[in-house]
Structure 1
Amino acid sequence: MAQTDATKTSDFSGFLKPEIAQNYFEQARKSSSVMQLARQIPLGINGQEIPYSTSKATAAWVSEAGQKPTTESGLALKSIKPHKIAAISVVSAEVVRANPGNYMQILRDDIAEAFALAFDAAALHGTSTPFGAYIDQSSKSVEIGTTTKPNGGVFGDVVAGLKLLTDAGKKLTGFAFDRKVEPSFLGAVDNNGRPLFVDTPLAETTAAITPGRLIGRPAFLGDNLATAVVTGTPNTGGIVGYGGDWSQVVWGAVGGISYKVSTEASVTLNGSLVSLFENNLVAILAEAEYGLLINDVDAFTKFTDNT
């Protein structure tokens, strides 16, 4: 949310130490389902160009002494460029000295999560996206709860999503679901009575993401992946998950999340420009540069819960 006033000691604030800035990026990566499933590539400040196949070489049978056919493969380039994301927090100088309640540790985690949520919202829903294509543009969709219990229930819904992909010549390499579907998954079994979703907790995995497996593929349950809910029914509505070929998505970052600290700049608070020096305030700017390229939005199936 937009800041309307400087954080004061009464608000339990603190000071960001330079030596922990790099850890921001690691926390953001672990909090993003898209970053977990997609491939990370090196990304420079000028971006990258990625070759992709437009046509494949073919072969044909020939008779004895017959003419051999010619063939070729076609290639083209797609560009991935970094885009900046940023946040500024303003605290009083007294907060810097007192550091009550270890507020800056909390702020660090909040900024990391905010960057991850903004990245996922852009990649999945196109929310304020600077990247172009986003996964909600896929034409494939399955409603959770469509398959009757005798025909597989939720397990059948997931398999129906797989079928949409295989019928189109696509692959399914993993899933990303909003945590609101976890009760449905935990109460569902496959046709052999085995749990549909099997969690695989890792020691280095944060609580923001629950890793597991779904029909033999890696799956992640996370927060804030779903679209807007239906009015009056907070547990249902909109898109609640995705399954698809995550090799069609690449992302990169120019370094980690960096920051600057200033006591002399001016910052807009509650619509007015405020002098930090004049008001004895400290501003902390956190920013990062991410790039994202989705090669094929129809390599994904959306799972909805509108009923």
Structure 2
Amino acid sequence: MAINPTALANVNGTLLPPTITGPIFNKAAEQSAVMSLARRVPLSINAQTAIPVPMDIPVADWVGEGGAKTGGQAGVGVKTMTGKKIALLVPVSDEVASTNPGGLYDQLEQDLPTAISRAFDFAAINGKSLKTGGAGPFSDYLALTSSTVALGTGAQSNGGLYNDIVTGAGKVVDKNYDFTGIAADPRFKIDAQLQTDTQGHPLFNDEAGTLAGFQTFFNKGVSGKYWRAGDSVQTITIAGTPTGGTFIVSSGGNSYTAAYNVSAATLQSAIQAWGGVYATVTVTGTAGSSYVITFPAVSTNIASAAAPVTVNGKALTGGTNVTATVAASGAGGTDSLLRGIGGDWSQAAYGVGMDITIKVSQEASYYDGSTWHSAFQENLTLLLVEAYFGFVMGSPDAFVAYTKGTAAF
């Protein structure tokens, strides 16, 4: 007799199974630059209890026979860590939720660590919410440091970016802290790989996972820019002077077949009709030649701030060597211009509440940043996933911030 697959609604309780929870937290720690460098300390199971966290090593001293002994707490600063909730609403198809809950858990195990690590790194470093740009959950965050180095400050003849990194390390060591590593945006690595000496030889020949000999971990949450959001200005160019046919403009699962000489106003109306993030775009340009698609300015990192546009001009006719291309420019979401935080990572600690709760609804509505959706009407199952994390920092003087400066990226 065939056995029906277990439906998600039949899973007992609201906690994800430990076999799923463990890998999610482990992968989040692996992907998070901050978690990879900072100390992990225990956090209560429900993360509601404030936990004292010593941020230094106790000071021992010499005493004579019968002399007063030094108290162990002397010289030890104590910070209080409280768990803060991170949440994510995940819409999935009813068919997937009811027929393949195992596959759904696999997908959660794959996607949640990335979402958690980016949000955690941005909050722990910049003190802000990755999505809204507003105040983050932690009163301590690494960008509070007063020590900064702008990348590109060092002249090529003096070591360039290598000089910048070591200068930052010197600012930390000069304040009697150790320099144990860097949490960096991936663009920091590209800037380093582009660096050469005055003879054109690469400056950086580090082992994997290091910059200038310092242990380095990379995560896009460091700067907070969503690379996948698309750029705010995207220009379609029709070359070769076609005299007939059509071209297709596509974005976010939407498409519009345009005449070879469609007006900018007509193309704008067609794109705006897609709704959501496209509702307020503007299109300017010259019919049959070029069209500039501009998304409105944004002040947050909501992923739907802009969307990549593609164009297919295979159906264009006439002209000579006709092509249709798209060039993107402008920002896709906000960029903090921070490229890395380096310092003494014994002065930073994080904690994890070892439970992930999941609530399920097939009737609720949700907001995706631009549009309200009805789960019932759109045949969706909504999964509300919640977890707890904590973060504290000993002293801002233990860290240095590396900013974009004049670096290429």
Q: TM-score, normalized by length of structure 2?
A: 0.56
State yes or no: 1:139 paired with 2:146: yes
The alpha-carbon deviation at position 71 of structure 1 amounts to: 7.2
CA distance in 1, matches of 2:109, 2:69: 59
Percent identity, aligned pairs only, is 30
> In structure 1, how many angstroms separate the alpha carbons of the residues matched to 2:174 and 2:68?
30
The residue number in structure 2 matching 1:215 is 212
Corresponding position of 1:266: 364
**Change in 2 beyond 3 A, CA 1:119/1:296:** same
Alpha-carbon shift at residue 173 of structure 1 (Å): 0.4
- Give ranges in structure 1 of 5+ residues lacking alignment: 1-13, 61-67, 201-211
1:227–1:240 CA contact under 8 A, matched in 2: no
For 2:153, give the aligned amino acid.
Answer: T
Q: Deviations over 1:252-291 (max 9, x none)?
A: 101043423345x634457769575x98643212111101
Deviations 1:64-90 (A, max 9, x none): xxxx99977354532111111111223
Going from structure 1 to structure 2, the CA distance change for 1:234 and 1:306 (only over 3 Å counts) comes to farther
> How far is the alpha carbon of 1:146 from its aligned partner?
0.9
Unaligned runs of 5+ in 2: 1-6, 130-135, 227-231, 233-328
| 8 A contact 1:24–1:256 mirrored in 2 | no
Q: Which AA in structure 2 matches 1:218?
A: Q
TM-score, structure 1 normalization = 0.73
| 1:222-280, Cα deviation, whole Å (9 max, x unpaired) | 22422669x977699721111100110000101043423345x634457769575x986
2:50 alignment partner, one of 47, 60, 73: 47
Asked if 2 retains the 8 angstrom alpha-carbon contact of 1:21 and 1:258, the reply is: no
Amino acid at match of 1:96: A
- Check conservation: 1:179, 1:223, Cα contact below 8 A: yes
Matching of residue 175 in structure 1 with residue 189 in structure 2: no
In structure 1, how many angstroms separate the alpha carbons of the residues matched to 2:25 and 2:58? 37
- Equivalence map 1:41-190=2 (5 Å): 41-44=41-44, 45=47, 46-52=49-55, 73-97=74-98, 105-106=106-107, 108-128=109-129, 129-188=136-195
Residue of structure 2 equivalent to 1:198 = 206
Q: Residues 306 and 94 from structure 1, CA distance in 2 versus in 1: closer, same or farther, beyond 3 angstroms?
A: same
Matched, 1:29 2:29: yes
- For residue 154 of structure 1, report the CA deviation from its aligned partner: 1.0
- Aligned residue pairs total 271
User: For residues 37 and 76 of structure 1, do their structure 2 counterparts lie closer, same or farther at Cα, with a shift above 3 Å needed?
Assistant: closer
Contact 2:20 2:105 in 1 (8 A): no
Q: Which moved more, 1:137-146 or 1:213-222?
A: 213-222
List per-residue Cα deviations over 1:173-208 (Å, max 9, x = no partner). Answer: 0011111122221234799x78536243xxxxxxxx
